[in-house]
C-alpha cells in the first residue's frame, strides 16, 4: 500500500475517530455516508470484532479499511442504522433486510441494508445504490467497436435471447439496463422482473419479485407473458424452470434479456444443457452472449509512464517496447483516487454471436471448449484479449489483468 493510500485512509479515519468522541451516532453515520458517496463507494461493511466495530468501504470493487470504532460505540451505531433502515432493533438472532432513503450531496439516494448475527455481535452491510438519474450508454461501458456492432444487431431482432454472464459484481445488470435504454421506444411494450429493482426507468414496467409471498421469477415471468410484451428482462436465470420459460418466450416473438452466472460465453451452453433445455431451443433462441468483468481504470490525476520489463512485454504479446503505440502507464496514488492509483472501472467483454457454425455445434452436442474455439476462429475477442487491449491503451494495468482474470488463466 502506498504512502498516499495510507494518508487518504488515515485522513478519513482521523476525521471519524475525532467525531466519535464528541457526537452522537446519528451525526457519525451521516458523515460516514457522505464520505462513502464522495469516495464512490458501492458498499459499507460494518463488522463486529472483539475490540470494536470495523468499518470498510468497497471502492472500485475492493474493500478498504477506514476505522475501527471502540467497543462502546458498536451497539449504538448498529442500532441507529437498524432504526433508520426500519429493521427490528430488538431482534439480534436472525438475518434482516432494510432500506434507507437519504439526501446526500444534494441527491436522493437509496441504501439497501443487510444484517445478521456473528459470534461477536451483529454485522451490517450497506449497499449504496446507483444514482437513479445516471444511465450509461452501451458505447460508454468499454465494448470494442466490433462487439458493439454485434450487440446492436442482436437488439434489432424482434425476438431471441441476449444474455449477460459473469460472477457477482461484474456489471451484468448495468449492461442490461444500457440495452433497455436503447430499446426504450414508445412503440415497444417493455417489462422487467428484478430482485431488487436497482434503477427506475421511465416508460418501462418494472416488477420486483417477493419470494416471501411465493412471487418469484417463475411466477412473475408467467404473468408477464400474458401482458403482450415486446421485450422482457429477467434479472437472473437461476433455475431450470426460469430458463425453460425464458427460452420459449424468446422463440415466440419476445426479445428476452437476462443474466446468468457463467465463467465465459461458451459456458452458457453447458449450463443450459444441465437445465435440460433441448439443443434446438438453445440453438434457435440465443442471439448473443456477453461475458464480462469489471477492471479498474488508472487514475488520470496521478498516472505516470513506466518502462515495462521483458516479462510484462511477453504477457502483452510483444517483443520490445518499440511495438508499443504509446508508453504504458500506472497510477502513483493520490487524494482523488483514495490513494489506490485507480479511479473508476470499465468493462472487459467477450461477445459471442450465434453464427451458423456455432448453431450447428450446439445442435451436434459440441462441448463449451469446442464452441469457444469456433467462436475465436470466427473473430471473437476473448476476455483476455479485451483486458490486454485496455492495458495497451493505457486504461488499466497488468496487475488488474491478473487480479480480474486469475480464474480464467
Tell me: the pLDDT tens digits for 172-201?
999 999 999 999 999 999 999 998 888 889
Split into its structural domains, the chain has a count of 2
Burial class (CB in 10 A: 0-12, 13-18, 19+), 161: buried
Do 87 and 216 sit in the same domain of this protein? Answer: no
CATH number of domain containing 104: 3.30.450.90
| Residue 270 is assigned to a structural domain of this protein | yes
Query: Full-prediction pTM beyond 0.75?
Result: yes
What cell numbers appear for 212 in the block? 416471501
CA distance 64 to 57: 5
Count of helix runs (H) and strand runs (E) in the chain: 14, 15
**Cβ–Cβ under 8 Å, residues 74 and 87:** no
Helix (H, G, I), strand (E, B) or coil at 366: coil
Do 123 and 232 sit in the same domain of this protein? Answer: no
Do 162 and 123 sit in the same domain of this protein? Answer: no
CA distance 300 to 126: 29
Between CA 299 and CA 302, with CA 300 as vertex, the angle to 5 degrees is 75
Q: What is the pLDDT of residues 99-147, one digit of tens each?
A: 999 887 677 888 999 999 999 999 999 999 887 666 789 999 999 999 9
**Cβ–Cβ under 8 Å, residues 67 and 12:** yes
Element (H, E) at 356: helix 356-363
Element (H, E) at 408: none
Do 159 and 287 sit in the same domain of this protein? Answer: yes
| Residue 82 is assigned to a structural domain of this protein | yes
Helix (H, G, I), strand (E, B) or coil at 188: coil
CA distance 310 to 129: 43
Q: What is the pLDDT of residues 314-367, one digit of tens each?
A: 889 888 887 888 889 999 999 889 889 999 999 999 999 999 999 999 999 999
Domain of 67, in residue numbers: 3-128
Amino acid at each position: 500500500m502506498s504512502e498516499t493510500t495510507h494518508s487518504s485512509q488515515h485522513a478519513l479515519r482521523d476525521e471519524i475517530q475525532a467525531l466519535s468522541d464528541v457526537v452522537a451516532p446519528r451525526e457519525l453515520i451521516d458523515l460516514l455516508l457522505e464520505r462513502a458517496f464522495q469516495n464512490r463507494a458501492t458498499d459499507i461493511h460494518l463488522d463486529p470484532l472483539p475490540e470494536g466495530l470495523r468499518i470498510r468501504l468497497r471502492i472500485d470493487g475492493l474493500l478498504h479499511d477506514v476505522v475501527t470504532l471502540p467497543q462502546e460505540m458498536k451497539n449504538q451505531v448498529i442500532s441507529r442504522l437498524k432504526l433508520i433502515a426500519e429493521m427490528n432493533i430488538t431482534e439480534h438472532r436472525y438475518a434482516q433486510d432494510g432500506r434507507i432513503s437519504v439526501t446526500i450531496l444534494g441527491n436522493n439516494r437509496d441504501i439497501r441494508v443487510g444484517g445478521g448475527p456473528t459470534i461477536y455481535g451483529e454485522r451490517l452491510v450497506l449497499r449504496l445504490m446507483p444514482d437513479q438519474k445516471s444511465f450509461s450508454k452501451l458505447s460508454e461501458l468499454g465494448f470494442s467497436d466490433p462487439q458493439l456492432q454485434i450487440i446492436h444487431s442482436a437488439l434489432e431482432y424482434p425476438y431471441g435471447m441476449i444474455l449477460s454472464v459473469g460472477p457477482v459484481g461484474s456489471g451484468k445488470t448495468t449492461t442490461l439496463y444500457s440495452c433497455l435504454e436503447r430499446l426504450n421506444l414508445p412503440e415497444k411494450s417493455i417489462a422487467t422482473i428484478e430482485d431488487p429493482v436497482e434503477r427506475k426507468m421511465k416508460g418501462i414496467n418494472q416488477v420486483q419479485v417477493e419470494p416471501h409471498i411465493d412471487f418469484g421469477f417463475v411466477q412473475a415471468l408467467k404473468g408477464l407473458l400474458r401482458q403482450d410484451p415486446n421485450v422482457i428482462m429477467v434479472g437472473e436465470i437461476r433455475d431450470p424452470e426460469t430458463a425453460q420459460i425464458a427460452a420459449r418466450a424468446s422463440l415466440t416473438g419476445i426479445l428476452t434479456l437476462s443474466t446468468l452466472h457463467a465463467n465465459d460465453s461458451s459456458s452458457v451452453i453447458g449450463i443450459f444443457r444441465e437445465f435440460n433445455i433441448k439443443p434446438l431451443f438453445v440453438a434457435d433462441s440465443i442471439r448473443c452472449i456477453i461475458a464480462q468483468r469489471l477492471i479498474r481504470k488508472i487514475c488520470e490525476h496521478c498516472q505516470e509512464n513506466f518502462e515495462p520489463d521483458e516479462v510484462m512485454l511477453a504477457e502483452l504479446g510483444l517483443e520490445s517496447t518499440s511495438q508499443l503505440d504509446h508508453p504504458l502507464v500506472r497510477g502513483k496514488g493520490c487524494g482523488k483516487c483514495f490513494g489506490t492509483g485507480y479511479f473508476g472501472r470499465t468493462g472487459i467483454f467477450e461477445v459471442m454471436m450465434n453464427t451458423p457454425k456455432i448453431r450447428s455445434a450446439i445442435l451436434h452436442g459440441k462441448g463449451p471448449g469446442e464452441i469457444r474455439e469456433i467462436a475465436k476462429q470466427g473473430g471473437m475477442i476473448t476476455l483476455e484479449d479485451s483486458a490486454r487491449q485496455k492495458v495497451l491503451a493505457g486504461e488499466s494495468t497488468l496487475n488488474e489483468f491478473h487480479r480480474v482474470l486469475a480464474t480464467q488463466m
